[in-house]
Amino acid sequence: MKTKELELYLNDLLEVSRFKDYCPNGLQVQGRAEVTHIVTGVTASLALIDAAIEAGADTILVHHGYFWKNEDARVIGQKHARLKKLLAADINLLAFHLPLDNHAELGNNAQLGLQLGIAPNGRFSDDQLGWTGTLPQPMPLRAFAAHVGGVLDREPLAIGDPKQMVRSVGWCTGGAQGYFAAAVAAGVDVYISGEVSEPTTHLARESGVSYIAAGHHATERYGIRAVGEHLAQRFDLRHTFIDIPNPV
């Protein structure tokens, strides 16, 4: 398919026009006019670009792209190295940030809930990015944290009473520790995000709502892969998901 057709389809699928984001969503770096092989990954790092070139891809689709609000606009250093590789290889780069977090089926939050076996039942934040759901049966925080770690293949940091029984869950992938207070107000037993900040510990202890920091990268692997699989099936494209390890 044509690159422009792909961008327009994804803009519509992910409802890009609904979001005021921290970066441009859609086509960020123009490459070949025809798309046949898409590589998906969490972040458009140099390692992902190299892997995509080695795989023979013409298009890279990521959650974390470039040109973030308030970043240095000069094409130097890290940005120069990345753009130079993309342009030399004539590879398209498409990125979708908040729209990918939000999508009800293919999004990061939807896919994380699916992976963890949480049945979604609502949203708790004003921007609708925070999700709530329930576990099939209550379990101690210690057991649930171990389950999260086993699914994500990364040991999470769990803050709370290990013996606390949890069933209602709030979550928002990535760096969404700022949603914790809203999750507490929503009445969940435990909140999951990717990162944790110093005040989070105190809020967890004082509110009685446990907090699980499961990794920014680890919690956001599944949405972009799901979008790639969707595109491959719908348009008969080749798709390769490449996970560049990231401990954060």
Annotated binding site for a divalent metal cation: 63-64, 101, 216, 220
Tokens found for residue 179: 């949603």
Residue 179 vs residues 25, 27, 53, 206: alpha-carbon distances, Å: 23, 29, 37, 16
What count of residues does the chain have?
248
Q: Hunting for tokens 């390692």 — which residue is that?
A: 47
Q: Report the binding-site residues.
A: 63-64, 101, 216, 220
What angle, 0 to 180 degrees and rounded to 10, lies between the N-to-C axes of helices 222-235 and 108-116? 100
For residues 125 and 88, the answer to whether their CB atoms sit within 8 Å is: no
For residues 83 and 29, give the distance between their C-alpha atoms in angstroms, rounded to a whole number: 8
- If 0-12 CB within 10 Å is exposed, 13-18 middle and 19+ buried, where does residue 86 land? buried
